């Protein structure tokens, strides 16, 4: 279906959903979070340009929307890395030695916490509980959940990471 609006990231479907929230909620500000969820659902990320477009469409200052994005872990920018690794740092995962896991992941990907790897493949972030304390230390790669306690060696971790490496980018 041909796009009828002027935005690049806000597709017609997204605009439809945002309009739905605009009709549903009495205040425009209340539309920010559900709209960001919709954007996240489509792009698996919150592209900065999408925030700019949302700001324009809702006529809400960009800084206000940026505040919401940076306040909630789930909305943080992925800085254009292809794969977003989120490692839980709360108590059960702390006891499960998430730091050891983090060190290994940093070593193998070349990325550091809150940063991306030079090849743009990885972005690492420490997050609050992701609701999977039974498999501490828990971590996510994009939307896939992993049980860090099952990773017994660097080889185990390598095998997992290799699944996410695009064909052209070589080996770890």
Total of residues contacting ligand FES (CB under 6 A)? 10
Minimum separation from the CB atom of position 60 to ligand FES (A): 33
Q: Which stretches of the chain are assigned E, i.e. beta strand?
A: 83-88, 115-116, 122-127, 138-141, 144-147
> Please, what is the angle between helix 48-58 and helix 12-24, to 10°?
50
How far, in Å, CA of 52 to CA of 15, rounded?
14
133 forms part of the interface with ligand FES (CB under 6 A)? yes
* Interface stretch with ligand FES, choices 7-15, 106-114, 130-138, 141-149 (CB under 6 A): 130-138
The 48-87 contact track toward ligand FES, x by CB under 6 A, reads ----------------------------------------
126 forms part of the interface with ligand FES (CB under 6 A)? no
148 forms part of the interface with ligand FES (CB under 6 A)? no
| CA-wise closest residue to 10 among 34, 44, 42 | 42
- The answer to whether 148 and 160 have CB atoms below 8 angstroms apart is no
- Residue written as tokens 């971590």? 139
Chain residues in the site for ligand FES (CB under 6 A):
88, 90, 92-93, 129-130, 132-133, 136, 138
């Amino acid at each position: 279906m041909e796009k009828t609006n002027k935005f690049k990231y806000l597709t017609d479907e997204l605009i439809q959903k945002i309009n739905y929230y605009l009709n549903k909620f009495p205040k425009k500000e209340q539309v920010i979070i559900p709209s960001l969820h919709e954007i996240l659902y489509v792009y698996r990320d919150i592209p900065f340009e999408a925030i700019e477009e949302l700001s324009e469409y809702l006529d809400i200052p960009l800084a206000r929307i940026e505040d919401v994005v940076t306040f909630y872990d789930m909305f943080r920018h992925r800085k254009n890395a292809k794969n977003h690794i989120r490692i839980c740092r709360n108590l059960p995962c702390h006891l499960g030695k998430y730091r050891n896991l983090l060190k290994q992941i940093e070593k193998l990907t070349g990325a550091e916490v809150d940063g991306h790897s030079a090849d743009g493949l990885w972005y690492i972030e420490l997050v609050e509980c992701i609701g999977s304390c039974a498999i501490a230390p828990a971590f996510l790669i994009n939307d896939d959940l992993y049980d860090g306690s099952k990773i017994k060696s660097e080889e185990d971790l390598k095998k997992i990471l290799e699944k996410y490496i695009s064909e052209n980018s070589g080996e770890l």
